[in-house]
Amino acid sequence: MFFSSKKIEKERRYFDYAAATPIDSEVLSLLCSLLSENFANPGALYSEGTESKDLIEKSRLSISEMISAHKDEIVFTSGGTESDVLAIRGVIKKVSLDEKFEGKPHVVISAIEHSAIFDTVHELEKEGQIELSILPVNKEGRVAVEDLKDVVKKTTVLISIMYINNEIGVIQDIPTISKEVRRLKKKLHGDRHSYYPLIHTDASQAFGFAPIGVSSLGIDLMSFNSGKVYGPKGVGALFVKRGVALNSIFYSGGQESGLRPGTEPVALIASFARALEISEGSKSKESLRIANLREYFLEKLEKIIKESCFKDLDLDYKVNGSQNYNSPHIISLSFKGLESDQMVIELDAKGISVSSKSACKTLDPQVSHVLSAIGYDDNSWGAIRFSFGRDTQNEDIDFAIVALQEVLFKLLHTKKEFLL
């Protein structure tokens, strides 16, 4: 049974844009048209095939120009997760086949990486393929750049630091991190332009909110995702700087410079490129609007917390992550003594869509490794994430705050009665 979109719009408020964005109406029209008209295999030599190939290459050029890269530095994938895995495993596989490389390859990540990175490197460590170091973060979720000198060594081949964290919204200073890595390269290898270590960042949450020029970021590899920029799901990209050699983690055809075999999804790729164009074109205005919404939300939240109804209920909460270095579209809140999933379920019943942690890890009963890294090492604090997007308005926040107030009162009152 399909539900009316108007009915959903009236009864529900969506606050999980960090997990998935709705497809832009213009992009949807383009996608439908391309699915119908440009279905030919881009590897074919006949006219329809070359037309499909041209669409892919135009999309590749468009995306490369948006991030100040070369056209041949864009590799299309199925999404952010695959881009992350290809970056990590692609580098390690290349190193493993290099007879001149001495020692076990060493990888450095931050303690709050996306699970696609976090789980992949831990699996590689378990397999005995790498040595792993994890950079701690402070209570705000920020990496201390000076800590790099304590972990980077001659066998370090890859450093992966997420640009904007998907759970708490903290922004890392990627340009400064890259500058420090170049300094360490010179110290360790006598040349700041030495090949290793390579620098990777997952920038899936950054598009539309932060500078994305790869030269100014100083990186070698960058993952990003259509599903986070109002494009179709099932497509993403990996920036691979010229001169950086990866090995494919798949076996078959030679598509995408031999890194991602398989028939390219022409309609998805072209729609992804258009979605990015729209997102980046409205970045300045939209990010400011979202920042104002964030401030409005936090002011409303603080106001209800002070309501007399909570006077005897021991309501205690925190806004997770840095409040000075954050992306405005993500707000992570922790409430003392409440369960994350229970809050999500209760809010859902009131028409509010939020997440308890990254959607990739929602079914995991363990404490989020991100929250654990910033000091929540047990389940005594329940965390939920509100994330804003293009359709979020002040009235949506008003609706959500009322619902949150009711849910908090219900859960805290129930808890108090249980303890009596």
Residue 363's φ and ψ, nearest 5 degrees, are -85, 0
Residue type, position 130, single letter = I
Strand partners, 133: 108
Contacts of 176 (CB under 8 A, 6+ apart): 145
DSSP 242-291: TT-----SS-S--TGGGTS-S---HHHHHHHHHHHHHHHHTHHHHHHHHH
Kindly state the tokens that stand for 313: 């209920």
Torsion of CA 136, 140, 144, 150, to 10 degrees: -10
Distance (Å, whole) CA 333 – CA 305: 13
User: Of the listed 360, 379, 390, 413, which one is catalytic?
Assistant: 360
Q: Which of 202, 264, 214, 277 is nearest to 26 (CA)?
A: 277
Strand partners, 14: 353
* Active-site annotation holds for 360: yes
Could you list the active site residues? 360
